Amino acid sequence: MNWQSLFKSKSIEQITQELDLRENSSNRLHRTLGVWDLTTFGIAAILGAGIFSTIGNAAAGGGPAIIFLFIFTALVCAFSAFCYAEFASAIPISGSAYTYAYASFGELIAWIIGWDLLMEYAIGDIAIAISWSQYFTSLLAGYGIIIPKYFTMDFLSAYRGFDQVSHLLIQGKSLIEISNQGLSPIVLKGYFAWLEAPQFLGLHLICDLPALAVTLLITWVVFIGIEDSKKFSQILVALKILVVLMVIAVGATYVEPANWTPFAPNGTTGILKGVSAVFFAYIGFDAISTTAEECKNPQRDLPRGMIYSLIICTVLYVLLALVLTGVVSYKKLGVGDPLAFAFGPEGANLPWLSGVIGISAVIALSTVLLVFQLGQTRIWMAMSRDGLLPPIFSVIHPKYKTPWISTLFAGTLVAIPSLFLNLTEVTDLNSIGTLFAFVIVCAGSLKFNPKRKNSNQKFKTPYINSKYIFPLILIGIITLIFCFNLEGITSFLSMNNPREKVPLVLFSFEMIVLSYYCITRNLSLIPVLGLSSCSYLITELGMKNWIRFGTWLIVGCIVYFFYGFKNSLLQKKLASADSGAA
């Protein structure tokens, strides 16, 4: 095996030639998307998961101060968005971070990031399907249609709820006392779902059937074509924004300032606990780049679509977080449908608005699922084209002009796990996968074009020399930590489990190395800030998620060396060139 060939990158010329060949064949995609279409796709993906599901769990831990995490995360995403946008302008083909890594670091890293993206989009879809199910069942319940609890939640949540409530009952507490002591509604729902569930061979039959249904529906929409997906998305995005603005306007009149005190009840630690939930709320703008071959003018419109959608969604997130934590105490928001809860009986008690939110959430989360499914299928297609996955995944449907095998396979990968998985578990794993992709894209941006001198690109990130600025930023942050968070340092040093220290130790070493390269190589500041901030957020996700993610990547490497390397079109070309030279 020629190990150097694993890091052989594709040039822009090679990628462009491959694109030209596809453009002149029947195996090509429809170019139908403009800047407005891309912006609505971005809003469709971003504005949904955070507002209608994960914002509740984040606020429950961080209180009203969660707005600072939204702003910080938006900045992190903005740094990464610049890198994505520049790559999209230079390499306007489907594949997103996978293709960008191929052009920067070579095939092995491209495979790793592609394998990561497959997990990211699949896990993201599962999380959205689960949240959609919670809103859908609540909506039906409002009309008197009750689906059995054991068919509307996952097995793990039901088991945990039953176990937690059972322990309290053993202590002599009644169900009324337990329900009044502030337990999350999902805990009690899980308890009753476990009790009521039918059994087969001693196994409780508990699964999320609505999550399965919506996944199958969206898979069909993606299957029939990008034009229909675009129209479907635009109509639903317009409705979604209208409802969010209505919630902000109406909710502002029901805000009780007392609910904002204390503003940060659990300090910095409590705010940072919401990292995965808040970051999950922003995932989506990168999915736009997977549609490059379906854009009319990708070099110009992709960067604009990413940045416009990110700005719009950040403003709405911050305003909504303030309203939500002002209407109801942050302690009560750890539910799967926080907006409907805040305007329900335990909050502002506005049944009409709660009903509107329920309907719009069902619609809005459908658009998120749509964009994620589009992104996932295009990654399968891009990797298949390079020979790293079986060629069947890049087959384009003769009528609908979509990668139809990839679409059906991706839909199955989401549909089955959505029956059984837990929302918190999947959002954590999704966040670490996405952050890893952002790290690779930012690092690739530095390697690919360090000083942004490529005059052929229609979008270029402004070059700011990081030689002195980045080291000074690090020194300033370290100083602030010692001045205002010495307790956090002491707590870290006194951890009983050394394994939990590994992420932060590795991050510290990375920052030392990055500072050295900033000083010696005059790296561009914006990608450096994206790389460092995304790396820090990964440290906040804990060793459990690191281990799970690492296991997934190890499995991916095994698949690559047993299949991808042998069938890689690039490796075959290199081998042919070597034999010809011999």
* pLDDT value at residue 330: 80
* pLDDT value at residue 514: 93
Tokens of 247: 């919630």
Mean pLDDT along residues 208-221:
87
Tokens of 107: 């095939």
Condensed to tens digits (0 to 9), the pLDDT of residues 464-490 reads 899 999 999 999 988 887 776 666 666
**pLDDT cut 70: percent of the chain above it:** 84
461 Ramachandran zone, left/alpha/beta (phi>0; psi -120 to 50): beta
Condensed to tens digits (0 to 9), the pLDDT of residues 406-420 reads 888 888 888 887 777
Condensed to tens digits (0 to 9), the pLDDT of residues 504-522 reads 888 889 999 999 999 998 9
* pLDDT value at residue 481: 75
Most confident of 148-157, 272-281, 336-345: 148-157
Average pLDDT over the chain, rounded to an integer: 80
Which helix (H) or strand (E) segment is 204 a member of?
strand 203-204
Name the nearest CA neighbour of 450 among 458, 461, 439.
Answer: 461
* pLDDT value at residue 20: 66
Predicted structure pTM score: 0.79
Collect all residues with Cβ–Cβ distance below 8 Å to 179 and sequence separation of at least 6.
188
* pLDDT value at residue 451: 45
Given CATH 3.40.605.10, say whether it is the number of domain 3-140+212-445+457-464+524-566: no
Name the nearest CA neighbour of 409 among 154, 178, 118.
Answer: 118
Please check whether residue 527 is in contact with residue 449, taking contact to mean a CB–CB distance below 8 angstroms: no
In the chain, list all ranges with CATH 1.20.1740.10.
3-140+212-445+457-464+524-566
Condensed to tens digits (0 to 9), the pLDDT of residues 522-578 reads 999 999 999 998 898 888 777 888 888 889 899 999 999 888 888 887 777 766 766
Condensed to tens digits (0 to 9), the pLDDT of residues 224-235 reads 876 666 677 777
